[in-house]
Amino acid sequence: MPREYSYDIVIVGGGPAGSSAAFTAARNGVSVALLEKEESIAQTVRTSGVTWIDDIRDFGIPEDCFNPIKNFSFCSPNNKVTISDETPRAAVLDVRKTYRWLADEAVHAGADVFVSTNVRDVIRDKNGDIVGVNCTGPDGETVFHAKIVIDASGFASVVCKAMGLAPRWKKFGAGAEYEARAENVESDTWWLMVGQQYSPAGYAWIFPLGDDRVRIGVGVGKPESDVDPTQRLKEIVEKRLGPIKNLGRLTETEFHYGLIPNDGLSRKTVFNNLLLVGDSAGQANPLVLEGIRYAIKFGRVAGTVASEAIMSGKTDKNALYPYEQKWRDEIESKINTAGKVQDRWIKLTDEQWDRELDIISELSAKEFVDFIKADFGLANIVKLAAHHPKLAVRQLFGMIKNR
Ligand SMILES: Cc1cc2nc3c(=O)[nH]c(=O)nc-3n(C[C@H](O)[C@H](O)[C@H](O)COP(=O)(O)OP(=O)(O)OC[C@H]3O[C@@H](n4cnc5c(N)ncnc54)[C@H](O)[C@@H]3O)c2cc1C
């Protein structure tokens, strides 16, 4: 006989979205189980961890979880630009430490965390709505009954796939990365490297983690390019291309690989008794394929809305809709606009990238961060248009007006 548990809310996936949902739901007093298939939270790192200091501080993430960045360097085959800020606005997270801190927050709020618990299938009621999940756990077959299930399983989207609610992602990014110790690191400077030799549909990066630690990686857009990011990463590191050569001797300490959806916000994210959040909902900024801050922010919203639904006794899609409304209001138009910029970037030739860097060099640090964060609010666009007519026309207005 399988082991059986009953919870108000069962959350599948102990990444930033799942832990954040577990935190707010448990804080509201409902019973919460957070299920993670790996042996520990963040056992495998699948992300580079770049994010923004304003967001980190809003979330309450401790200062020792991130390395601040204030110089944004770009290089293309024949051009180079650095935009310097007075105070750092960006950061590279210690991903493992941050994700574990988020899960600890959930535990302190009262959530139960089950690791080594791999969700394989869903349990439905007579109407076909989800009422639990079947897992393989440390003690074998395990069943979790739930009034609400939150799918926070990332790219895999295991629950919504098992429910037949979403097809496979058509567009996605694949990334490979070394974490390494390097002889020479400028710990407050990141590098983004663009052009065919780095990635035919994407970019390569150097993200410092503090002290002598760096992440060096390659991201490739699929299906636009069939280049294998792991192979390309090996090549650019072996050849010490561009700014990699300045790092001096490298000692690799970890290898990371991951996939991130890039289909825009195409999925519905609420169903009867079910919410999707984070990568599983496609909540990623397509410009630099970053989604951690959305996972945390909308994870917290999902946990709040789900726990309120439990307390009201109604868990159908209408009761859960305020979650979808909230995230769509906040990011839908920004993500759509960023997607158009990305569509253009992905087609640039090496020569066009060389010229694009000249345009980027006209931006102040604040404008650059707003841009790369996809913070395309109307006020920002108007300011950009006033200060940089060429840039605004070429990069932004032409796309914005068609929204
Ligand atoms: C190469 C790469 C680089 C990236 N760089 C950045 C960056 O610099 N900055 C940024 O903000 N974002 C970045 N991202 C995106 C970022 O990693 C995601 O947006 C973020 O992790 C989404 O969080 P999540 O909680 O939705 O999913 P995940 O972090 O993927 O967490 C999902 C969790 O669910 C678990 N799980 C999966 N299946 C099951 C199952 N069957 N049963 C139980 N548990 C399961 C997984 O083990 C995992 O712990 C990058 C992504 C990639 C691939």
Encode pLDDT of 201-225 as tens digits: 999 999 999 999 999 999 999 999 9
> So what's the pLDDT on residue 392?
56
- Per the domain annotation, does 279 fall within a domain? yes
Q: Which of 43, 46, 116, 372 to mutate to test the pocket of ligand 1 (most atoms within 8 A of CB)?
A: 46
- Per the domain annotation, does 51 fall within a domain? no
Q: Is the CB of 319 under 6 A from ligand 1?
A: no
C-alpha span between 68 and 52 (Å, rounded): 9
C-alpha span between 246 and 82 (Å, rounded): 15
C-alpha span between 63 and 61 (Å, rounded): 7
| Helix H or strand E encompassing 239 | none
Please tell me whether residues 151 and 271 are part of one structural domain: yes
Q: Is the CB of 286 under 6 A from ligand 1?
A: no
Final residue belonging to a domain, choices 261, 276, 303 = 261
Domain around 291? 3-45+96-170+266-332
Percent of the chain with pLDDT over 70: 95
Q: What average pLDDT does the segment 367-378 reach? A: 82
Tell how far the Cα of 284 is from the centroid of ligand 1, in angstroms.
11
CATH code of the domain containing 204: 3.30.9.10
Residue 197: band (very low, low, confident or very high) from pLDDT cuts 50, 70, 90? very high
Which ligand 1 atom is nearest residue 293's CA?
Answer: 11
CATH code of the domain containing 106: 3.50.50.60
Q: Residue 153 gets which letter from DSSP?
A: -
Q: Is the CB of 33 under 6 A from ligand 1?
A: no
Cβ(65)–Cβ(51) below 8 Å: no
Model confidence pLDDT, tens digit, residues 384-402: 767 776 665 555 544 444 4
Please tell me whether residues 328 and 344 are part of one structural domain: no
Q: Is the CB of 76 under 6 A from ligand 1?
A: no
SS3 of residue 272 by DSSP = coil
Q: Is the CB of 150 under 6 A from ligand 1?
A: no
Please tell me whether residues 38 and 145 are part of one structural domain: yes
Q: What average pLDDT does the segment 13-40 reach? A: 98
Model confidence pLDDT, tens digit, residues 306-323: 999 999 999 999 999 999
Indicate if the pLDDT at residue 106 is higher than 50: yes
Return phi, psi of residue 279, to 5°: -60, -30
Q: What average pLDDT does the segment 324-352 reach? A: 90
C-alpha span between 7 and 32 (Å, rounded): 6
Residue 379: band (very low, low, confident or very high) from pLDDT cuts 50, 70, 90? confident
Which ligand 1 atom is nearest residue 17's CA?
Answer: 25
- Per the domain annotation, does 86 fall within a domain? no
Q: Is the CB of 16 under 6 A from ligand 1?
A: yes
Please tell me whether residues 393 and 274 are part of one structural domain: no
Q: Is the CB of 219 under 6 A from ligand 1?
A: yes
Q: Is the CB of 133 under 6 A from ligand 1?
A: no
Residue type, 306: A
Cβ(115)–Cβ(14) below 8 Å: yes
Residue 338: band (very low, low, confident or very high) from pLDDT cuts 50, 70, 90? confident
Please tell me whether residues 164 and 186 are part of one structural domain: no
Please tell me whether residues 27 and 122 are part of one structural domain: yes
The least confident of 62-66, 257-261, 342-346 is 342-346
Please tell me whether residues 304 and 247 are part of one structural domain: no
Final residue belonging to a domain, choices 307, 332, 357 = 332
Which ligand 1 atom is nearest residue 38's CA?
Answer: 47
Q: Is the CB of 289 under 6 A from ligand 1?
A: yes
Please tell me whether residues 188 and 163 are part of one structural domain: no
Of 265 and 129, the structure prediction assigns the larger pLDDT to: 129
- Per the domain annotation, does 78 fall within a domain? no
> Percentages helix, strand, coil for the chain, rounded to the nearest 5?
40, 30, 30
- Per the domain annotation, does 89 fall within a domain? no
Indicate if the pLDDT at residue 380 is higher than 80: no
Centroid of chain to Cα 402:
27
Model confidence pLDDT, tens digit, residues 345-362: 888 999 999 998 988 888
Measured between alpha carbons, how far apart are the two ends of the chain, in Å? 55
- Per the domain annotation, does 197 fall within a domain? yes
Tell how far the Cα of 72 is from the centroid of ligand 1, in angstroms.
24
Tell how far the Cα of 97 is from the centroid of ligand 1, in angstroms.
15
Tell how far the Cα of 315 is from the centroid of ligand 1, in angstroms.
26
Please tell me whether residues 299 and 344 are part of one structural domain: no
Q: Nearest-CA neighbor of 103 among 177, 181, 229, 13?
A: 13
Which ligand 1 atom is nearest residue 50's CA?
Answer: 8
Residue indicated by tokens 């990635």: 199
Residue indicated by tokens 């609010």: 377
Enumerate the β-bridge partners of residue 121.
134
Q: Nearest-CA neighbor of 252 among 326, 353, 182, 352?
A: 182
Q: Per the structure, how many domains does the chain have?
A: 3
Q: What average pLDDT does the segment 106-118 reach? A: 98
Q: Which tokens hold the place of 130?
A: 């989800």
C-alpha span between 348 and 141 (Å, rounded): 51
Q: Is the CB of 259 under 6 A from ligand 1?
A: yes
Q: Is the CB of 175 under 6 A from ligand 1?
A: yes
C-alpha span between 211 and 230 (Å, rounded): 25
Please tell me whether residues 113 and 163 are part of one structural domain: yes
Final residue belonging to a domain, choices 310, 332, 354 = 332
Q: What average pLDDT does the segment 267-291 reach? A: 94
Of 188 and 390, the structure prediction assigns the larger pLDDT to: 188
Q: What average pLDDT does the segment 85-91 reach? A: 95
> So what's the pLDDT on residue 391?
60
Residue 43: band (very low, low, confident or very high) from pLDDT cuts 50, 70, 90? very high
Please tell me whether residues 164 and 313 are part of one structural domain: yes
Q: Is the CB of 202 under 6 A from ligand 1?
A: no
Tell how far the Cα of 103 is from the centroid of ligand 1, in angstroms.
14
Cβ(10)–Cβ(53) below 8 Å: no
pTM for this model (two decimals): 0.96
Indicate if the pLDDT at residue 268 is higher than 70: yes
Residue indicated by tokens 């990568």: 279
The least confident of 169-173, 264-268, 290-294 is 264-268
C-alpha span between 294 and 333 (Å, rounded): 14
- Per the domain annotation, does 65 fall within a domain? no
Tell how far the Cα of 12 is from the centroid of ligand 1, in angstroms.
12
Of 251 and 383, the structure prediction assigns the larger pLDDT to: 251
- Per the domain annotation, does 368 fall within a domain? yes
Please tell me whether residues 101 and 159 are part of one structural domain: yes
C-alpha span between 230 and 177 (Å, rounded): 8
Residue 19: band (very low, low, confident or very high) from pLDDT cuts 50, 70, 90? very high
Q: Is the CB of 295 under 6 A from ligand 1?
A: yes
